[in-house]
Amino acid sequence: MSNKPYEIIERPPTVLEHKTLWEAVGWGKVNIEMTGQSIANSVYCLVAISAGTVIGMGRIVGDGAMYYYIQDVAVLPEYQNMGVGKQIIEKLLNFINDHCAGAGFVGLFASHGKDAFYEKFGFKNHSPGMTGMFLVVGD
């Protein structure tokens, strides 16, 4: 664990920063040909930086009105359990609360074993009444 200070700033990660974080947290290989456009189409992005290096990121995708999806929340393993992820989620949720004029839906897919982290922010597993599903196309 590091004691280095960090700051969270509003800006998208670069394709390389995104790839580095994606792979560091064990999500496999990222398709960098798609990454640039995906990041550019985000509703909102932020990164956590320590000593000039991006150590964390988070994005919101969706329609920017009623539906928001928290995406790509990742923190380098050596900076996990220091509150970086918590601050990223809080800032993403603050953005949504500031920009959603009425009832809105905020979704996310939690990495395996991270359910309890997201439950602290009010996210719930709504099964069996509702089931989160997704389809991966191409490959």
Domain ranges for the chain: 7-119
Q: How far is CA 37 from CA 15, 17, 74, 135, in A?
A: 9, 14, 19, 20
Tell me the catalytic residues: 118
What is the pLDDT tens value at each position of the chain, 139 positions in all? 446 799 999 999 999 999 999 999 999 998 888 999 999 999 999 999 999 999 999 999 999 888 999 999 999 999 999 999 999 999 999 999 998 877 788 888 777 777 778 888 777 877 777 767 666 677 6
Q: Give how far the C-alpha of residue 34 lies from the chain's centroid of Cα atoms, to the nearest Å.
A: 17
Domain 7-119, CATH homologous superfamily name and number: Gcn5-related N-acetyltransferase (GNAT) (3.40.630.30)
